[in-house]
Chain A
């Protein structure tokens, strides 16, 4: 099975501050790490490879230092990595990002080695939109499920997977034909850890293991379809939601408390 896993570098701290004036994430001095949700997608891919054979390729979009996140995936067991890197991809919104990833995947495919499965984490911890996987599936014209909490080879059909998608209080069990796009949730597995021996073996081979794709390598190389130009939306402002830690505890007789609550809601013009 030929599997592509989409991964992203995100700030390593969950406490990244947002500049209250410009609304931009203050990334200076903050180390990067692999988006935590992508770890589950990668583990799902590696487990599937163990059963079905094939290859696991990891793909990310970003400047040259983003190679590190691909190397980390290789330390975990991925076969190789693809870095999509071109200034023309800069400023992409989720739609343009999804299109860029889908174009890269189409450009990588050969008739001999078609892509059977594309795995993503269900969302990133910096953007939190959870839209790229689904939009990518649209561009690739592939079936897609999100929130995958279980993923196994189908017993009946060698060209299908059995999946479980956890949607709040509902659980959906389905069989999905390959090729397809699946976005994994954290319940699906415990990701394996990066290996020192694999690091030792792969670091000297970084240039061979990681292929860099630029716009020129794409089948659709029209710059109007990528980056800022290809984006349907623009972020006007990012801001942390107002925090309100105020609590009022009303204790004592329930009738009195109810009256106090009513007075309070009226006083604040909520009622």
Chain B
């Protein structure tokens, strides 16, 4: 099956978009433009980090995910709660309270992603030990990090830990166990991930490192969170013991949690998309030395900071720590999970040179020359009025054929000044004969109409423009 490799789950709610430039400024991969008064996300540049969702003041950026009703599409469903789900609740001292509530909500079974995370930690420890001469490795659990490396850091692709993400491992084990238990066919079983972020939604549809994900649907923590509350019973005697993960597994929800399970000393754990971009640059430039492992999470605070969560990321992180305080270190071992056929990636992640200017080096070189010339013409204010985040990106858009120099209001202004000068000449301001021929008069009229239209339409949404045009034609008559 060939899935769209630039699938994204961060979308625009056009009706809410006011055409302001907040999102284009905050997007770490410069994947958004504002044209005709509405934002547009460029698929191949977007890494699904969700930063625009956080910063859009009009809530016009949204995450798409599945509604909880998907559980009705299957004969048997297994919930895969992310460990960050636990951190949403106050005074939670026993994970089984949440897991039992999930069963009451309608799931037939539950398999904790944190249990699979402990298997990933074990496999990672082994892999790093075996490949000690190839360090540092970069964590591959956050899909946005993989997508960022895939489009921007080709030389770091080989450093990605080629191990499936905990949720994928959980899905594989959960399906195998459900089939064993029920005798149902694989497609009759729904494996449903309760996710802290939209980037896992895209992952489930178009995974990297493997061909097809075992996750059938992805629902949001923020949807499930309130529905669980009425089912949460804190009386231990009424709880079925389900939970089987320890401190390492549940700790994965926080920044620094993954390295916590690796038992290495020389690590770097960075969170927040802007911080990880800086780390990747420095790694690429070989400025960071002596590292064994690099943990990167796109969200501030780690997965607890995902855009589909409810609780403040830093409070959630503290809650996680409190929850695992008296847990055993780890409760899952690869040897006890024969259902898991292969914990390693089956496919290589390929470099996608989406930021390349042209199709060939020669073409790109020529285009870059034009970019340099254009950039020199622009004021360098990076004001965003043109709809591109910087003067440089506008220049790149122009050479790619997606924008024109007149999108820059400063270039437009100077062009208008030129026009005015010419009009002045035509009208005889410079002392020449003001007598105009019919042809000149016609030209002048056309000129002014075009100029007025261009100025009036600058930055105005298409729909609004139509309206204005109608009004203008009324005035004309």
User: Do A and B make up one complex?
Assistant: no
Using a CB–CB distance below 8 Å, which chain A residues touch chain B? Answer: none
